[in-house]
Amino acid sequence: MTATDPALTALVSGWATLSLLHSRIETHIERALQSRNSLSVREYALLDVLSRQHDGEGGHLQMKQVADAVVLSQSATTRLVSRLENRGLLARYLCPTDRRGIYTDVTADGLELLTEARPTHDAACREALDEAATHPELASLAEAVRTVGTPFPRLKRTAP
């Protein structure tokens, strides 16, 4: 493959388009969350991920798992956790079965803020996708984002 290979050019172009869509969506959500809920996109994502933990086996995430879920490095995630802990939105505690492990939970204030911010986040995401769909170069990707996670309809079996 050479730098002028059409397959490579198409791949790079596709990646650039995906990156552009991501940037537009994230920027739109960031502005909405900041103005209405005083949260960044990353703060919202962290609260959302941590709010889904449960007390069952494997229900609490280690910091590496949290970092992977919010797409940040472990050090950036630790700084983000500290910032939200200082705001009273998160609390850390020692793992009851492994005193070396530290877990993080969302506080009542954090859950309240997340509940208030969720409609803002969801509406901003829909708005950003609607806007992206008006641009021919982004329309197919915007539609793909809308359908990710949507279950496929079950096909009815017909008798042979």
Residue (of 48, 124, 60, 52) closest to 89 by Cα position: 48
Find which of 52-66, 91-105, 128-142 is predicted with most confidence, using mean pLDDT.
128-142
Angle between helices 108-132 and 6-37 (to 10 degrees): 130
**Which whole number is the average pLDDT over 38-66?**
90
d(CA 26, CA 33): 10
Of 5-14, 21-30, 135-144, the range with the lowest mean pLDDT is 5-14
Work out the angle between the directed axes of helices 41-51 and 74-86 (0-180°, nearest 10).
Answer: 90
User: pTM of the prediction?
Assistant: 0.84
Q: Taking 50 as the threshold, does the pLDDT of residue 157 lie above it?
A: no
The conformation of residue 92, written as its DSSP 8-state character, comes to E
Average pLDDT of the chain to the nearest whole number: 88
Using CA of residue 31, residue 106, residue 73, residue 21, what is the dihedral sign?
Answer: negative
Instruction: Kindly report, residue by residue over 23-32, the tens digit of the pLDDT.
Output: 999 999 999 9
Query: Quick one: tokens of 83?
Result: 């910032």
Span 124-148, average pLDDT: 94
Instruction: Supply the pLDDT for residue 71.
Output: 93
Q: How many helices (H) and strands (E) does the chain have?
A: 6, 2
